[in-house]
């Protein structure tokens, strides 16, 4: 992962909901809440990164971590890490009465950036809910992750929300992500977590993550569920998509990957894939990435003056396009991993939410802007990767079902259906196979060279 210095903080908002067995925990505020509500508010720092505040140890030591569905590890800097590469708060294990050390080495490589150190075990608390003996990576060295921040909130580690299999293929055994420990330790009864990032323009603690339930007030219409794609793990890691996907012995779930079948725009771009493509849902990546030729074709159909910056590998766009709410970029997702369907779930993202300032924190004052969709190049050993990052995910309410290996999607809205469902079975929505909804809403953001503190490039963990 390449992290921005100017972060979007994920803070959980307390709303007074009293549904049993859900965790709704405020991030940077001490709101009153029921002990059964497990809701964390999400802080949006200009739409470039989303963080969640956790406490580690006894007594607790606080850390703001990047919320990342594209990886599964929870790690923080330790006091063994030099301040030059771990410039913020560092965990002091000697000050925690609940800490248990281990000799297991910790090392993780993201799309850009890395961390290494040793694992330990301690209590991790979000709001008022604690997971005991959570496995934690304690970094004694980092590279290209924890940059200096002069203004705003800063990320100080990673809060992985991917599948346990992602840690297993890296050779790390029994390393359950936090949400899986919530289920195993019976802190939540419904094995789901739901994310509402909110628009790029809704800065501050304006989003939320809800553990153990679904908040119908954060989306419009009905949730539509799509299955998660698993991967065949051998000498190569390949997604099980297409007619042979059901006979996938030796496969495991790694990422929150769904089956993409087409990309279109309201302005006439339309490409249906001869073979379904793995769309990775990744809250740890600022931009949305697609193969270079598809981005080139899409951009040619979008309105406004859009030019390619070959040095930074991104597209510049008129800042005035931030007012274009009619043009949409649409991602079609199959409700089957084995075949395309005639009525896919369609995520429609307004162009206004895909315009990001390059020389300012606000598009209203910027003179240079970029498109929040970028090309992902193929390498000699892999095909181009599809990543639906924050610039797309802000437009949808996401329900991650860790038991049934599926994701529920609906148009995100700060003023949605008006009721709260405590679990996935009681929420409105269709089961996988009933598709056909269009998900309209909005959000976006990013920057590269002009101001490196703005951008999180890749939230995917690399395991090979």
**Catalytic option among 68, 122, 215, 324:** 68
pLDDT value for 48: 67
Burial class of 242 by CB neighbour count within 10 A (0 to 12, 13 to 18, 19+): middle
Angstrom distance (rounded) from CA 180 to CA 229: 19
- 20: pLDDT strictly greater than 80: no
Per-residue confidence (pLDDT) for residue 145, from 0 to 100: 86
Q: Are residues 181 and 235 in the same domain?
A: no
How does pLDDT run across 298-322, given as a tens digit for each residue?
999 999 899 999 999 999 999 999 9
Give the number of domains in the chain. Answer: 2
Characterize the bridge pairing of strands 61-68 and 158-160.
parallel
Confirm whether 282 is a catalytic residue. Answer: yes
Do 414 and 383 share a structural domain?
yes
Q: How far is CA 173 from CA 37, 118, 169, in A?
A: 31, 14, 9
- Note down the domain range covering 328: 215-462
For residue 423, what pLDDT is reported?
52
Q: Which two tokens stand for residue 190?
A: 């419904």
Please tell me whether residues 106 and 63 are part of one structural domain. yes
Higher pLDDT, 21 or 199: 199
Question: Rounded to an integer, what is the distance from CA 366 to the centroid of its chain?
Answer: 26
pLDDT band at 23 (very low <50, low <70, confident <90, very high): low
For residue 122, the number of C-alpha atoms closer than 13 Å in the C-beta half-sphere is 28
Question: Is residue 3 included in any domain, yes or no?
Answer: no
Same domain, 245 and 165: no
- For CA atoms 170, 175, 178, 182, the dihedral sign is positive
Mean pLDDT for the stretch of residues 437-453: 29
Identify whether residues 306 and 416 lie together within a single domain: yes
Token pair belonging to 153: 């909130």
For residues 72 and 162, the answer to whether their CB atoms sit within 8 Å is yes
Same-domain pairing of 294 and 434: yes
Distance from C-alpha of 33 to C-alpha of 59, rounded to nearest angstrom? 21
Strands 61-68, 50-56: pairing is antiparallel
What whole-number distance in Å separates Cα of residue 131 and Cα of residue 187? 8
Residue 179, C-beta contacts closer than 8 angstroms, at least 6 positions apart: 161, 193, 211, 402
Boundary-marking domain end, from 180, 213, 246? 213
Tell the burial category of 275 from Cβ atoms under 10 Å away from its Cβ (0-12, 13-18, 19+).
exposed
Question: Is the CB of residue 284 less than 8 Å from the CB of residue 352?
Answer: no
Nearest to 339 by CA among 234, 199, 245: 245
Chain centre to alpha carbon of residue 73: 13
307 vs 300: CA distance, rounded Å: 10
Cis ω for the linkage preceding 196 (within 30 of 0)? no
User: What do you get for the CA distance between the two ends of the chain, in Å?
Assistant: 15
pLDDT tens, residue by residue, 241-294? 987 665 556 789 999 999 999 999 999 999 999 999 999 999 999 999 999 999
Decide the pairing of beta strands 406-411 and 158-160: unpaired
- What is the pTM (predicted TM-score) of this model? 0.85
Lowest average pLDDT, out of 6-15, 45-54, 210-219, 412-421, goes to 6-15
> Quick one: CA dihedral 161, 9, 399, 226, positive or negative?
negative
Domain match, 259 and 354 both: yes
The arithmetic mean of pLDDT across residues 441-461, rounded, is 33
228 and 176, same domain (yes or no)? no
* Reported confidence tier of residue 128, pLDDT bands at 50, 70, 90: confident
122, 175, 215, 282: the active-site residue: 282
Distance of CA 187 to the CA centre of its chain: 23
* Total residues found in the chain within this entry: 464
On whether the CB atoms of residues 231 and 239 are closer than 8 A, the answer is yes
Residue ending a domain, choose from 169, 196, 213: 213
Distance, in Å, from the CA atom of 316 to the CA atom of 327, rounded to the nearest integer, reads: 17
Q: What is the DSSP secondary structure assignment for residue 91, as one 8-state letter? A: B
What's the mean pLDDT when you consider all of the chain?
81
Q: Do residues 236 and 356 share a domain?
A: yes
């Amino acid at each position: 992962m390449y992290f921005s210095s100017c972060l979007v903080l994920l803070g959980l908002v307390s709303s007074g909901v009293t549904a049993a067995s859900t965790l709704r925990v405020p991030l940077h505020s001490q709101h009153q809440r029921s002990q059964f509500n497990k809701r964390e508010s999400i802080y949006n720092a200009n739409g470039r990164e989303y963080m969640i505040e956790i406490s580690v140890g006894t007594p607790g030591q606080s850390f703001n971590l990047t919320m990342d569905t594209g990886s599964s590890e929870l790690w923080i800097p330790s006091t063994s890490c030099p301040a030059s590469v771990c410039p913020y708060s560092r965990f002091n294990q000697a000050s925690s009465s609940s800490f248990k050390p281990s000799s297991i080495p910790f090392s993780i490589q993201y799309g850009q950036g890395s961390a290494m150190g040793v694992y330990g075990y301690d209590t991790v608390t979000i709001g008022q809910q604690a997971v005991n003996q959570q496995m934690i990576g304690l970094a004694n060295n980092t590279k290209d992750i924890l940059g200096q921040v002069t203004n705003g909130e800063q990320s100080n580690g990673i809060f992985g929300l991917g599948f346990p299999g992602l840690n297993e293929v890296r050779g790390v055994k029994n390393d359950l992500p936090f949400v899986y420990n919530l289920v195993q330790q019976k802190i939540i009864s419904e094995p789901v977590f739901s994310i509402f990032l909110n628009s790029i323009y809704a800065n501050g603690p304006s989003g939320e993550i809800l553990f153990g339930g679904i908040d119908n007030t954060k989306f419009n219409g009905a949730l539509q569920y799509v299955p998660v794609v698993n991967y065949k793990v051998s000498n190569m890691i390949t997604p099980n998509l297409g007619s042979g996907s059901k006979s996938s012995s030796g496969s495991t779930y790694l990422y929150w990957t769904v089956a993409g079948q087409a990309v279109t725009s309201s302005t006439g771009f339309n490409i249906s894939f001869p073979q379904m493509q793995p769309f990775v849902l990744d809250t740890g990546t600022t931009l949305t990435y697609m193969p270079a030729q598809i981005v080139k074709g899409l951009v040619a159909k979008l309105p406004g003056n859009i030019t390619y910056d070959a040095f930074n590998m991104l597209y510049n766009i008129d800042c005035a396009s931030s007012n274009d709410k009619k043009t949409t970029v649409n991602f079609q997702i199959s409700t089957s991993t084995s075949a395309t369907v005639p009525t896919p779930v369609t995520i429609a993202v307004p162009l206004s939410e895909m315009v990001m300032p390059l020389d300012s924190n606000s598009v209203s004052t910027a003179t240079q802007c970029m498109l929040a969709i970028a090309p992902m190049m193929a390498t000699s050993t892999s095909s181009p990767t599809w990543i639906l990052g924050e610039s797309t995910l802000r437009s949808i309410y996401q329900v991650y079902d860790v038991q049934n290996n599926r994701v529920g999607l609906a148009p995100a809205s700060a003023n949605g259906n008006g009721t709260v469902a405590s679990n996935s079975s009681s929420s409105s929505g269709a089961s996988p196979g009933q598709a056909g909804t269009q998900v309209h809403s909005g959000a976006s953001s990013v920057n590269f060279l002009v101001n490196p503190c703005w951008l999180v490039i890749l939230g995917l963990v690399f395991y090979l």
